Structures are given as structure tokens and as C-alpha cells.
Amino acid sequence: MEDSAAVAGLLWDQWLPANVRALISEVLPGGAGDARRLAVWLAGVHDIGKATPAFACQVDQLADVMRAHGLEMKTRRQFGPDRRLAPHGLAGQVLLAQWLEEQHGWTGRQSAQFAVVVGGHHGVPPDHGQLKALDDRPQLLRTPGASRGLWRQVQEELLDVCAEEFGVQDRLTAWRAVKLPQPVQALLSALVIVADWIASNPDLFPYFPQAVHRTGAERVAAAWQGLRLPEPWEAEEPPEGVQELFGARFDLPPGAVVRPVQEAAVRLARRTSAPGLMVIEAPMGEGKTEAALAVAEVLAARSGAGGVFFALPTMATGNAMFPRLLDWLKRLPAEEGTRLSALLAHSKAALNDEYADLMRKSAQRIAAVEVDEEERSWRPGDEQRIASAELVAHAWLRGRKKAMLSSFVVGTVDQLLFAGLKSRHLALRHLAVAGKVVVIDEAHAYDTYMSAYLDRVLSWLGAYRVPVVVLSATLPAGRRRQLAEAYAGAGGAVDAEEFEAVARTDAYPLLTAVPPGGTPVVECPQVSARGTSVHLERLDDDFGVLADRLAAELEGGGCALVVRNTVHRVLETARVLRERFGDDAVTVAHSRFIDVDRAAKDAGLLARFGPPGKSEERPRGPHVVVASQVAEQSLDVDFDLLVSDLCPVDLLLQRMGRLHRHQRGKGQADRPRRLRTARCLVTGVDWTGPVPVPVRGSVAVYGAYGLLRSAAVLLEHLDGSRRPVRLPQDISPLVQGAYGDGPAGPASWAEAMDAALQRHEEHRKDQAERAGAFRLDAVGRPGRPLIGWVAAGVGDADDTRTGRAQVRDSREALEVVVVQRRADGSLATVDWIAPDKAGLELPQDRPPAPRAARAAAACGLRLPSQFSYADVMDRAIAELKELYVPAWQVKDSHWLAGQLILALDADCQTRLAGFSLRYSPSDGLEVTRA
């Protein structure tokens, strides 16, 4: 009890960000002093439920000692199944509440909001049914008969001593009138959980120290020094001049000037009444990422936030962002000796080279140290003890439950959405985001299902007063309003008219700032001088027509991007174009490559088609990249010509952002003459009938309604003789027109549009209802205890295929690790990857060498949707489990433990669940019916 209380005090003093401490402190009459006492006391009493017969009976020889002192109890077998109704967390909540009510005059409602912190310290606050079941069985808390009074005496004596020892005895009367907001209850619960985990670690707090006899204070000091948690970030107010700020934080080219959107965002962050939500809508390539980091620095300095969480749509975009975050962190001002924790948060983070390097440099043995060894154990450069760099991937702050507690985190948006999912240890996720500035990228990319979770999370972030920065190039006005209302709604009364004004504006670029519970502020900065006019044309959906057109357009050289809405169409298109242009002139990019090949594809695209000066390998002759939606976002690539399947207009605009993205010579003179005018050919549609008919694959992905609305707003731009799309001026009108409620398209489309709208609304309603099944409730009124907070939840939630399916409206995807089976039956890593990783032996009678195991794990592959249907998935898993290697399931082989292994033959083929699978480094995975 002393260990837990002492750790809680150290966490409060040296680890919790200032904004978290302030949020807890402001609701207590004694401010910060009361808040610290409360946290320490709750951590000290959190295990009081162990002083009960239901718990103490578990070890016979220890229980006999207690019986000898008059504390009678049944044996574990005599209790039977009833004993499970009194887990020590629940028992502790009941005992603490009784003590507060009987000894200090609290009401049940007053005590519950404090005691629930004890009840939920194993990750799930009890619900009313559990409390009622235990109340009906008092014998689980105190043995009936003569021993009952002695049990009560022991429990009350422990609670009395804790109240006195931890300084709350004289504060309980004043606290009786406090109404703890639910966010404060969650933060206290999380703090107690962290303190409990640290104090329960036998490497830090040995049960039986043999050679060292320490006082309590020395014991805690030795553990704290051995743990050595990095402190929270204490952001300083950055330089007043925005140009100076960007020059200090980012690698700006010589003579580069901060863009108007970036400057306006920083100035607005400084000017708003209180740090809150900021939505930055600006064109592709305007530097929104840099703007978000600069704004985060300002908001952290103003709010006391102790870190940043950058949420991105996919693992690939997260991997690309992580080194950019590290570069920014290295440029932040810091006092000598400051250590900041950084983490890449997704299920394959350990395979990221930058993160793996940071983990290697951060090697630290988590164990108590001798107090007089402080100077030696903290010496920078000691690779065996601590990281030599200021940025560390701290060993204790890893794993699915603790990872988000690092100060600076890059991860998928799933990690943020989990904060809105009823799941075990949800309080830890809330503590993790409550202490940071949260940045949400590509906010337009989330459907109704995901948006339901995002809006609920935003409402809790507003209650925590967490600064949030939302980034988008193509955000519908209605969605902008929903985000703003969700964030502001928990902080106070929302003026509907003020938020209607947020939705009415069609200005672009646009900044929207919403203080917690306050009035929205809208600002319309200028766009940078650079712009592009894109001429749109229809193109018949015929592979031969496409090949002929590309041959004509690229006759004098040039680079074209063809974006298809399905992988099947990507591969079919590539097959036809290779017949026309040759294998070397066609590149394929989609999501069905193994991870290492996908990373190499992205790097290759950047090397050949990236910005001028960084793309020295740009092809001189004709070249065509055929890609799926992976080309839409986060790749700074630049093409001379774009061909795209019809898709929702916001995504089509994202694709246009890859067309003439950079200036290549004056007036684009460095491009082939025919391609100096930006053109986008729109295909994937039968344009011949009275109403456009998109191809089936596109309808399956996006729905007919979104595609028809997109076609409708593009009508005035389609065909070369009509008005081109001006970027960025036309971005907002097109997006708002496509996503608005007004009519769109010719009258002859009305019947088809109405039928598509009905299906669209039914789908959205279904998504919203299904999202509500496990979604966290809205923030309750102050004083309402978190009893039943995550009742009927999903259990544990993590970044696995199962976990992601809980917050995304998609079937559970099947993920495998791809290896090759040699002619003699042995297994090896695939033979086409980097020479130092290819063809490495994977023995089946022992764990593979670490280098081979890691190389194999880097060949992860997500199987396509054919394998997501229940019967096919079950059959596939059963077949994959036939290649179960017991020697790989041990701790020493953590890279491959628990993985499903897909073994390809020498020709890179195999069969699975009735399908033929073929893989090639150039085209990825192809699946056909066997």
C-alpha cells in the first residue's frame, strides 16, 4: 500500500502533464494540494479488497496464519463459484464506500464517485448488477459470526491508517460536497492503474530483498531511478515570428516563405480564448502537416499538454510520418538532460526501421538500482542502461495497453477511436490522450461508422479540454459542423446558430477554431500563389481505348498515373498496358503487396516521381503507374497526366493533387510539350446512357449515390471544351455541392438519384446503429460515478485485425506472414527481397535466428476480401494452421509467435480455401478461383 501510494505521488510530481493535473485540481476545494493527496490516497487503498475472506482464502498456508489470529474464513473450495462474485477490486469499492458512509457521513452517491476508482483498477469499473450480487452475499467480505467484527476491525483499521498516513483525514469532510466529473474519475482511475502496475513489478519492488535492507523511502527511490520514466514535455511559447518558428523547426529550402495558411493557423492558435479544436482545410501540398506541428507547439505551451498524438488513416501513412515527427522533436528547445518518449503505435511498428533503431538505442533494464549508484546509472552513453539520445522509446511504455502513454505518438486513427470503444483499461487510453495535443489527419477519409466513434471521442476530448487539430483538403461543410459540435457540446451549451454559420461558409482555405464550450471562430486565409487548372475529359471504360489514348499522349515521353478503384482493375489494366508499352514502362501499386515490398514501392515512387531535386530517377521515356487508392494520400508524387476511375469528388480532388503537383520549369517547360496542360481523364463509367453507370467494382466500394453526386458536380467541367477545375478555388464548391442536400444533376437523373439516395440512407442508418453497439456513452453529469462505464463492452481492444474491425466498418481481414517452401520441404524467407534478408533459413525444429525471423515478419500480407467471409475465413485459418511450428511459438521467437504462415512454392504460388494464389514482386497478390 505504501509502495503504490508513493509511486502515485511521484507520477503526480514528475510524470503527469500539467493540463491533467490542472483538470483534477480545479474540482477540489484545496486545488493542487487536495488533488495530489486524493491521488496518493486512492492508490494507497486500491487493494483494500484483498483484506476479505473471499480473497485471503486462496493460499492455504497464508490463510491458516490469519485463522490463527481469529480471522476465520472458508476454504477456497467451500466458497465455491460464489467467490468469483467478489473480485478484490469490486470488494474494495464496496469497503471504501461503506467506510466513507459509516465513518464520515457520506451519502451513497457521494462515496460512489470516489470508490469507483478502486473498483475499476483492473480495467473495468463494476456495474450495478455486480454490486447488487456482492451486496446479497456479505459473507464474501466478512465471515459471519464471531469473526465478522474482527474482519471489520481489520478493514477499518487499514483504511483509518491510510487516511492519516496519506494526509486526507482532515479533507474528507470538505470533499463530501465535491462532484467529481466523469473525466476526472477516469483520470484518477488510470493514475491508480499505472501506480499499481509499477508498484507490483517485482524487478522494481522485490518481494524478498536479500542483500539490501532499505527504508520505505529508499525502496521507492531505488525503484523510481531504475524505472526512470521520461518526463512530460513542457512546451515553451515558440518564437513570435512565424517565419522564424518554421525556419527553426522544419527543413525549409533556401528562400522558402511560410505559406499564408500556415501563418494564419499559428496566429489563430495564439489568438483564441482558450486552446480547443482547430480545423485546417487547405489544398494538397500546402504544408498542413507542418502547420499542425507548429500549432501543436503553441497549443501545448498555452494548455500545459505534455505531448502530441498524430493520428493517420493507415499504417503506411503512420510509417511515413514517424521520421518527420522525430525530426521536429530534435529541433524543439529543451534543457540539457531532458528525455522525451516517442513511439510508433501500430501492430507492425517494430518492423519500422526508424522505430527499431530508436528502440535499440533506448535499451534499458527495468530494475531497482542502488540509490548511491544514481550518477553512474544515469550516465548518458551507457548503452546497457539508458538511451544516449534525448528521444527514447522507453521499454516500460511499450505494449498494447501502455504504448499510448508515451509523450509523442504517431499511430493509426484506430488508436484514437479506441478511446470511444467500451473496452478494458479504457481509462488508460483516456489518460494517454488527455495529456496531449491530438492531431487528426485526412479527416474526410472516415465513413459514418468511424465518424460515430470519432465524434464521441471528440466530445470526451472537449470535456478534457484537449487541444485538437483536424486536417483535411476536402472536408464537407456538414461534417465540419459535426466535428465542431461534437467537441464543443461536452464543454457547455452549444448555440445552434453559431454552428450553422460554421457549416454555411464555403470559403477556402478555411480555419475553424472552437474553444471548449465556446463560440466558434472562422478565418479565411489566402492560398499560396501557386495554383493549377485541370482540364477534365470523359474516357470510355475500355482497356484498348485507354491504351491507345496513353500511347498518343505519351508519344513524346512523360509520366502518367492511372488510378483504379479496385485491385482487380489495377491488375487487368497493367496487363493490357504492358502489352503496349513493355514491362519496364509500367509500375503497379496497390495494397496487396507484402509489407517490405509495399515500403519499397512507396520509396521507388518517391525516387522516380517525387519533387524536383528529389526525383533524379524520373523516367525519360513514357511510363505509366497503375495504382489503387494508395496513390491518393501521403505520397508526394507528381505526374504529367492523370487517368482516374470515377470516385467521390473529394477523393478525385485528392488524386488531382498528384497531377502537376510541382512546378517543373517555367510554365512547366520541363514536361513534354503535349503534357504541359494538366489533364484528368475520367473513366470507369458507361457515359452513353441517359444516366452514367459506374462499373460494379466502384459501386461496391463507394456506393452509387456518392458516385452519381460526384458525376453531377463535375458535369460543367467534363470535356476539354468546358471550364477546367481550378485548384484550389473549385475544391470547396465541388465538395460542398457533392455532399450537400440540394438537387444535383439533370432532371433525367432524378429517379436514379432518388433510388441511390434511399440505399445510401439505409446504409448510413445501419452503420450508425451498429457503431452504437459498443460505443462509449456521452460524458455524464458531474458526480455521476463511472459504475457500468464499459459494461457489455468488447473486452480488450488492440491494434490487431480483430481490434481494428471494431472501429472500422469492414469485415475482419486475415493477415499472414509469407514465406517460401523449398523443394526439400524446408522453409525460408522469400527470395526476391534485399539480399541480406532473402532466402534465410527458417528451421522448424528450433526458433529461427533473430535476423531471419524479423525478415520473415516483415513479409506480412493482408489477404483480400474474399477471405473475410465467415465460411471462407474459417476454412483458410484451418488450412493455414496446418503449418503450425511449435518451435516458433516461444518467447525467443516473438517475431513469428502466433502468426499465420502462408508458404508459397518456388513459383510463388499456392492454394488456400478454394482459391489459387500467385504472388509477384511486380504485381503483388493475385487471387482466382481454383
Alpha helices in 584-669 (DSSP H): 595-609, 649-656
What is the side-by-side strand order in the sheet with 559-563? 586-589, 623-627, 559-563, 641-645, 678-683, 532-538, 725-727
Long-range contacts of 665-674 (CB under 8 A, 24+ apart): 670/612, 671/558, 671/640, 672/554, 672/556, 672/557, 672/558, 672/640, 673/556, 674/553, 674/555, 674/556, 674/558
C-alpha cell at 757: 439516395
Residue 373 has a pLDDT of 45
**What value does the mean pLDDT take over residues 457-467?**
96
Q: Tell the residue number behind the cell numbers 475553424, with chain if given.
A: 512
What is the Cα–Cα distance from 390 to 400, expressed in whole angstroms?
23
Q: Which of 248, 259, 254 is nearest to 291 (CA)?
A: 259
Residue 805 has a pLDDT of 54
**What value does the mean pLDDT take over residues 459-477?**
94
**What value does the mean pLDDT take over residues 339-362?**
85
Residue 694 has a pLDDT of 97
Q: Which of 303-317, 342-356, 430-444 has the lowest mean pLDDT?
A: 342-356
Q: Which of 456, 455, 407, 459 is nearest to 431 (CA)?
A: 407
**What value does the mean pLDDT take over residues 631-641?**
88
For residue 842, give the 3-state DSSP assignment. coil
- 344: β partners: 410
What is the Cα–Cα distance from 716 to 924, expressed in whole angstroms?
38
Summarised one tens digit per residue, pLDDT across range 820-864 is 999 999 999 999 999 999 999 999 999 999 999 999 999 999 999
- How far CA 781 is from CA of 89, 100, 180, 491, 703, in Å, comes to 24, 22, 9, 11, 40
**What value does the mean pLDDT take over residues 190-213?**
84
Is residue 541 predicted with pLDDT exceeding 50? yes
Q: Tell the residue number behind the cell numbers 470516489, with chain if given.
A: 114
Any residues with CB less than 8 A from the CB of 7 and at least 6 apart, and which? 43, 195, 198, 199, 220, 223, 224
Q: Which of 303-312, 499-508, 921-930 has the lowest mean pLDDT?
A: 499-508
Residue 251: DSSP 8-state: -
Summarised one tens digit per residue, pLDDT across range 744-784 is 999 999 999 999 999 999 998 988 888 888 899 999 999 99
Find out whether 312 and 559 touch, Cβ atoms under 8 Å.
Answer: no
Q: Give CA 13 to chain center in angstroms.
A: 28
Any residues with CB less than 8 A from the CB of 336 and at least 6 apart, and which? none
- How, if at all, do strands 586-589 and 623-627 pair? parallel
Give residue 913's identity as a one-letter amino acid code: A
What is the Cα–Cα distance from 469 to 278, expressed in whole angstroms?
5
Residue 623 has a pLDDT of 97
Q: Taking the CB of residue 288, how many other CB atoms lie within 10 A of it?
A: 26
**What value does the mean pLDDT take over residues 676-702?**
95
For residue 627, give the 3-state DSSP assignment. strand
Residue 445 has a pLDDT of 74
Q: What is the dihedral of CA 12, 17, 19, 24, to 10 degrees?
A: -20
- How far CA 745 is from CA of 426, 684, 706, 710, in Å, comes to 46, 18, 12, 9
- 927: β partners: 917
**What value does the mean pLDDT take over residues 586-591?**
96
- How far CA 162 is from CA of 134, 623, 871, 905, in Å, comes to 24, 74, 57, 66
Residue 214 has a pLDDT of 66
Residue 196 has a pLDDT of 96
Q: Which of 436, 365, 428 is nearest to 402 (CA)?
A: 428
Q: Which of 82-96, 500-514, 530-544, 626-640 has the highest mean predicted lDDT (pLDDT)?
A: 82-96
Any residues with CB less than 8 A from the CB of 252 and at least 6 apart, and which? 246
Q: Which of 353-367, 464-478, 915-929 has the lowest mean pLDDT?
A: 353-367
**What value does the mean pLDDT take over residues 734-738?**
92
What is the Cα–Cα distance from 214 to 707, expressed in whole angstroms?
71
H or E element, residue 310: strand 308-312
Q: Is 442 left (phi over 0), alpha (psi -120 to 50) or beta?
A: left
Measured between its terminal Cα atoms, the distance across the chain in Å is 63
Residues of the chain with CATH 1.10.3210.30: 2-227
Give residue 126's identity as a one-letter amino acid code: P
Architecture per CATH, domain 2-227, reads as Orthogonal Bundle (1.10)
- 345: β partners: 411
Count of alpha carbons within 13 angstroms of residue 152, beta-carbon side: 12
Is residue 372 predicted with pLDDT exceeding 50? yes
Residue 511: DSSP 8-state: E
Residue 384 has a pLDDT of 33
Spell out a b/e string for 310-324, using b for 16 or more CB atoms within 10 Å of the CB, else e. bbbbbbbbbbbbbeb
Give residue 7's identity as a one-letter amino acid code: V
- How, if at all, do strands 693-694 and 685-686 pair? antiparallel
Q: Which of 334, 331, 268, 332 is nearest to 295 (CA)?
A: 268
- How, if at all, do strands 468-472 and 277-281 pair? parallel
pTM for the predicted model, two decimal places: 0.91
Architecture per CATH, domain 532-727+741-759, reads as 3-Layer(aba) Sandwich (3.40)
CATH number, span 242-523: 3.40.50.300
Long-range contacts of 581-584 (CB under 8 A, 24+ apart): 581/550, 581/551, 581/622, 581/624, 583/922
What is the Cα–Cα distance from 265 to 10, expressed in whole angstroms?
37
Find out whether 342 and 391 touch, Cβ atoms under 8 Å.
Answer: yes
Residues of the chain with CATH 3.40.50.300: 242-523, 532-727+741-759
Average per-residue pLDDT for the chain? 90
What is the Cα–Cα distance from 488 to 621, expressed in whole angstroms?
54
Is residue 609 predicted with pLDDT exceeding 50? yes
For residue 334, give the 3-state DSSP assignment. coil
Is residue 710 predicted with pLDDT exceeding 80? yes
Residue 819 has a pLDDT of 97
Q: Backbone phi, then psi, for 145, in 5-degree steps?
A: 95, -150
C-alpha cell at 39: 491521488
What is the Cα–Cα distance from 813 to 867, expressed in whole angstroms?
7
Alpha helices in 649-749 (DSSP H): 649-656, 696-702, 704-714, 731-739
User: What is the number of residues in the chain?
Assistant: 930
Q: Which of 559, 675, 699 is nearest to 627 (CA)?
A: 559
Q: What share of the chain is helix, strand, coil (3-state, %, to 5)?
A: 50, 10, 40
Is residue 902 predicted with pLDDT exceeding 60? yes
Find out whether 291 and 266 touch, Cβ atoms under 8 Å.
Answer: yes
Residue 746: DSSP 8-state: -
